[in-house]
Amino acid sequence: MHIPDGFISAPVATVGCVVAGGSVAYAVKATKKKMGEKQIPLMGVLAAFIFAAQMLNFPIAGGTSGHFVGAALAAILLGPWRGILIMTCVLVVQCLVFQDGGLFALGVNILNMGIIASFVAYHIYRGSALFGEGRKRKLIGGGLAAWFSVAIASVACAFELAISGTVPLKIALPAMAGIHALIGIGEGLITAAVLNLIMATRADLLELQKA
Amino acid sequence: MKHSFIDKYSDLDSLIHRLDPRTKFIASLAFIISVVLTPTSNWRAFALHLCLVTSLLIIAKLPPFYVLKRSLVIFPFVLLVAVFIPFLKPGEIAGSYNIWLWQVSVTYAGLLILANVAVKAWLCIFSLILLSATTKLVDLLKGLKQLGIPKVIILILSFMYRYIFVLVDEAMRMRQARDSRSFGGGRLRQLKTLGNMIGTLFIRSYERGESIYAAMLCRGFGDEIRSLRQLGFKRIDASFGVAFGLVIISSAIIFW
């Protein structure tokens, strides 16, 4: 879902940069208020963690392999604003080091995979807590949150490509959403498994978003 | 373990490598924006941009095979657009095929969009490869800071860059351990194992982050990372910047 440069038009890319810039600035402020100076090493190490976790592949059908995205996990464990901050750093490094996603398109990529994915995941996970606090329900909520974060980010991506006039919406939307609905299943299952492990070993870390 | 995958070739020596990171960053951004803004099918402007970026790649002494291989990242997106071509706008038909019961026709308007998008994406990725293969990330971050990116972001990115090596090592060790102990298993089981690995990695990273902060406090951290290398904006940066800007602006004036 990392959109390269050239696929989105200049107005869309500019809007993406402005929205992403504003949100990241706010995220820095919100995180600083909660954690102070401590945020610097912790956010840095956790961004490196997401980066390392993305290198662990798992096989999908037909010899292809997928990897974990992690926006949902970061948002569920640390809250949406810290999630945005972490994903922004991951995307910046992926762009500047691996050319994964464009430079002018960076704003749009941060919007999709950072801001939208984090907020969707966080609110679905919190919303699922309304139905009870049991362990199973939390795991299902986490899995669903991860699935939706991937699916809705891909829908946003389809809209941006369509507004740019690169592909027509009526085809881009089902194609992007369809592919990512499948990818999202893996993401959801892994996120649930991660939450399961953390609940069993360091349940206190699940309360970080409230701190 | 080996980490040559991060800023590979950035320790070569060439004219481009010696430029100030700020010059290179602004030039790359200007190049990309200029390519994105170029109107559809303006082939002469695209050709000029291609000449510019290839000559810079050659001056930077980057291996052509590496550049081409790297540029394949955009392939999935080009494919995505290519798949949609048959469904694009009606217009003069360039060719039609029968796939099963489907009459699929490709129009010139559709092909034009594909060619346009592919060319633009390729030009942009070349300039991004040029930037990242000639600049060390640490220097680039320092340059970005002086260009006004907030210090907190730069500090977080520097920490991230430092710990990528440590955590990737850790992840690779875990993968090696898993691969040498387990032999396949169902897909669900594999995902569960992966979840446990990622969860363990998260807990270790979190604890590491806390102890790093404690260590920083012990050593008197004062919201700044110092390093010996100073950035310097030299005459060559000014002349490169002016020449680069002239080419891009003239291409805009001549070909639009």
Domain residue extents for chain A:
10-210
Q: How far out from the chain centre does Cα A127 lie?
A: 18
Work out the minimum CA distance from A38 to partner chain B, whole angstroms: 6
Nearest residue of chain A to residue B82 (CA atoms):
A167
Phi-psi category of residue B13: left, alpha or beta, with phi > 0 → left and psi -120 to 50 → alpha = beta
pTM assigned to the model:
0.90
Query: Does the CB of A28 have a partner CB in chain B at under 8 Å?
Result: yes
The partner residue sitting opposite A171, judged by closest CB among B87, B140, B205, is B87
* Pair B72, B140: CB distance under 8 Å: no
Choose among A48, A130, A125: nearest CA to A89: A48
Q: Over 60: is that where the pLDDT of B1 sits?
A: no
- The predicted model gives B108-129 an average pLDDT of 86
Contact across the interface for B156 and A40, Cβ inside 8 Å: yes
Q: How far is B104 from chain A (nearest CA, A)?
A: 15
Q: Read off the pLDDT of residues B227-237 as tens digits, 9 standing for 90 and up.
A: 666 777 788 88
Residue B50 is predicted with a pLDDT of 92
* Cβ within 8 Å, pair A96-B131: yes
Q: Is the pLDDT of residue B4 over 60?
A: no
Look at residue A120 and tell me whether its pLDDT is greater than 90. Answer: yes
Across the interface, do B195 and A51 touch by the CB < 8 Å criterion?
A: no
Q: Which residue has the higher pLDDT, B124 or B87?
A: B124
Is B208:A45 a contact under the CB 8 Å cutoff?
Answer: yes
> Most A CBs within 10 Å: which of B194, B201, B218, as the mutation test of the A interface?
B194
Contact B160 A51 (CB under 8 A): yes
Q: In the block, which residue shows the tokens 């810039």? A: A21
Per-residue pLDDT band at B109 (split at 50, 70, 90):
confident
Which residues, numbered 86 to 145 in chain A, qualify as contacts with chain B under a Cβ-Cβ cut-off of 8 Å? Answer: 88-90, 92-93, 95-100, 102-104
Q: Which residue of B has its CA nearest to A208?
A: B206
Give the tens place of pLDDT for each residue, B55-107: 999 998 888 898 898 888 888 778 877 777 666 655 666 666 665 555 666 67
The pLDDT tens digits for A32-91 are 887 777 778 888 999 999 988 888 877 666 556 667 788 999 999 988 999 999 999 999
What tokens does B81 get? 């657009």
CA distances from A147 to A120, A133, A156, B57, B219 (A): 10, 20, 14, 41, 43
Query: What residues of chain A lie within 8 A of the CB of B6, using their CB?
Result: 97
Tell me if A121 sits within 8 A of A113, measured CB to CB. no
- pLDDT value for A156: 94
What is the DSSP track for A55-74?
A: T-EEE-GGG-EEE---HHHH
Rounded to whole angstroms, the Cα distance separating B10 from B132 reads 7
Q: Is the pLDDT of residue A198 over 70?
A: yes
Rounded to an integer, what distance in angstroms lies between the CA atom of residue B18 and that of residue A209?
A: 44
Residue written as token pair 């396949």: B184
Q: Which residues of B touch A103 (CB under 8 A)?
A: 28-29, 32, 124, 128, 131
Please check whether residue A54 touches B, CB under 8 A.
no
Q: How far is B195 from chain A (nearest CA, A)?
A: 5
Q: Return the residue matching tokens 């394949």.
A: B72
Best mutation site among A1, A3, A5, A57 for testing chain B: the one with the most B CBs within 10 Å?
A5
Which of A24, A45, A189, A207 to mutate: most B Cβ within 10 Å?
A45
Q: What residues in B contact A165, CB-CB < 8 Å?
A: 113
How far does the CA of residue B216 sit from the closest CA of chain A (Å)?
A: 9
- Could you please report the per-residue DSSP string of B119-187? HHHHHHHHHHHHHHHHS-HHHHHHHHHHTT--HHHHHHHHHHHHHHHHHHHHHHHHHHHHHHH-----H
Does A46 lie at the interface with B, CB-CB under 8 angstroms?
yes
Q: Confidence class of residue B2 from pLDDT cuts 50, 70 and 90?
A: low
pLDDT at residue B83 in the model? 74
- Considering only CA atoms, which of A116, A109, A70, A88 is closest in space to residue A28? A88
d(CA A157, CA B77): 12
CB contact under 8 A, B171 and A77: no
Lowest mean pLDDT among A62-71, B11-20, B100-109, B128-137: B100-109
| Chain pair A-B, CB pairs under 8 angstroms | 243
pLDDT in tens, B182-214: 766 777 788 888 889 999 999 999 999 989 988
B128–A102: do the CB atoms touch at under 8 Å?
A: yes
- Averaged over A103-127, what is the pLDDT? 93
Mutate one of B75, B164, B172, B196 to test the A interface: name it (highest A CB count within 10 A): B164
Chain B residues with CB inside 8 Å of A39's CB? 152, 156
Query: Which of B35, B183, B206 is the best residue to mutate to test the A interface, defined by the most A CB atoms within 10 Å of its own CB?
Result: B206
On the CB side of A133, how many CA atoms lie within 13 Å of its CA?
2
Query: Which of the pair, A165 or B52, is modelled with greater confidence?
Result: B52
- The pLDDT assigned to A192 comes to 93
CATH of domain A10-210: 1.10.1760.20
Nearest CB among A13, A93, A99 relative to B73 is that of A99
